[in-house]
Amino acid sequence: MAAALVCALGAPAAPGTAYAAPGEPEPKADGSGGTASGAGRLEKVRSDVDRLYRQAESATDAYNLAREKQTRQEKSIVRIARAVVKAQEEMTGLRERAGALARAQYRRGGMPPEARLLLGDNPSGFLDGFTLARKGEKAARGLMNRLERTQTALDRYADSASQEWERLDRSRARKAAARAEITEKLARARRLESRLEGKERDRLRRLQEERDRASQNKWLKTGILRDVGGRSSSVGRRAIDFATAQIGKAYVWGAVGPDGYDCSGLTQRAWASAGRSIPRTSQEQWRLLPKVDTARMRPGDLVIYFKDASHVGMYVGDGAIVHAPRPGRQITLAGAGSMPILGVVRPDGS
């Protein structure tokens, strides 16, 4: 981890080592000079591969969000179904009582209780009978009102269930579309990489590392670390401990552990291990969590990258993050400034 941190912070190259600037000819593996067209081709591949992986990561966010919504909607439908069963059972009981009331009234000739009392041959019991009749009438009205309310509730449940099913269908469609896009982007990126010879793939990886290191050094030269300070909160420290313990595990799109993670799956699980529930996707983490100025970030904060908030890493201090980079890579430490920073959020909000 210490060696990885040194690399992540953009340590200067050893004396005598020179890195080719982007677009300049790179030496061939056999020591002979490369051509500008060869270096340009490799840079084009690097750019295309990076773009495809970023698009796949953005689609992964859409997939994760749709899957999360689908889970909530399925639970909502189950709750509605249970409420319907309960309401139907109540409706059955109410109808049985209403039927008994109607049968009793039929047996008495359908005459209203007040009329039977007035025509009765026992005027002395009129007041007692009248009170009982009023109670019976009130009970009957109450029964009818409950029947009406229960039927209204059933109708409402039916509408809610219909709406939830429509939302569920849309979530499933979005998830399927996102999955198809992810699969297509990853396949294209792998095809591009597979066309390179082994030595070219090594050069491609070095080229990306040099780009990341250059971006990190540029970020550090702004003097950002002179302003960035502060210590992590106790829950933030627990989140960091969890995230760094995952170093070396594979990036797996859509995964939240324990064997692999995507970028936001790692940050969500890390903060969950510290007792804080945060949104599933990097875009939702950016949208919903409290934002802090980059100059005020502290270990445990989440650094959100790119204009579409499609990537996230956890700041661990000294200008470094721990993150799940992309498919084919492992969870690692990297420079916090090695990618374009959109902003910083603080899950514990303190």
184-216 pLDDT, tens digit per residue, is: 887 888 787 777 777 777 787 788 888 889 999
CA distance from start to end of the chain: 28
- Indicate the pLDDT class of residue 25, thresholds 50, 70 and 90: very low
**207 vs 22: CA distance, rounded Å:** 8
CA 332 to chain centre: 22
At 327, which amino acid appears?
P
Residues with a catalytic annotation lie at 263, 311, 323
The residue assigned the tokens 């899950």 is 347
Residue 329 confidence (pLDDT) above 60 = yes
Phi, psi (rounded to 5 degrees) for 330: -110, 160
- Could you report the per-residue pLDDT of 225-244, keeping only the tens digit for each? 887 777 889 999 999 999 99
Which is more confidently placed, 1 or 252? Answer: 252
Q: How many CB atoms lie within 10 A of CB 41?
A: 13
Long-range Cβ pairs for the range 317-321 (8 Å, 24+): 317/232, 318/5, 318/9, 318/225, 319/8, 319/9, 319/216, 319/219, 319/220, 319/224, 319/225, 319/228, 320/5, 320/8, 320/9, 321/8
Mean pLDDT of the region 140-152: 71
**145 vs 155: CA distance, rounded Å:** 15
Helix and strand numbers, DSSP H then E, in the chain? 9, 8
**60 vs 310: CA distance, rounded Å:** 9
Contact 249, 261 (CB under 8 A): yes
Longest dimension (CA), the chain: 126
Cα distances from 57 to residues 3, 61, 169, 305, 313, in angstroms, run 27, 6, 23, 11, 13
pLDDT at 137 (0 to 100): 58
- Indicate the pLDDT class of residue 272, thresholds 50, 70 and 90: very high
- Could you report the per-residue pLDDT of 291-308, keeping only the tens digit for each? 999 989 999 999 999 998
**32 vs 196: CA distance, rounded Å:** 19
- Judging by beta carbons within 10 Å of its beta carbon (0-12, 13-18, 19+), is residue 14 exposed, middle or buried? exposed
**107 vs 118: CA distance, rounded Å:** 19
pLDDT at 245 (0 to 100): 97
Long-range Cβ pairs for the range 248-252 (8 Å, 24+): 248/330, 248/331, 248/332, 249/330, 249/331, 250/329, 250/330, 250/331, 251/324, 251/325, 251/326, 251/327, 251/328, 251/329, 251/330, 251/331, 252/327
pLDDT at 343 (0 to 100): 95
Which is more confidently placed, 201 or 1? Answer: 201
Using DSSP's 3-state secondary structure scheme, residue 253 falls into coil
Token representation of residue 334 = 């990297």
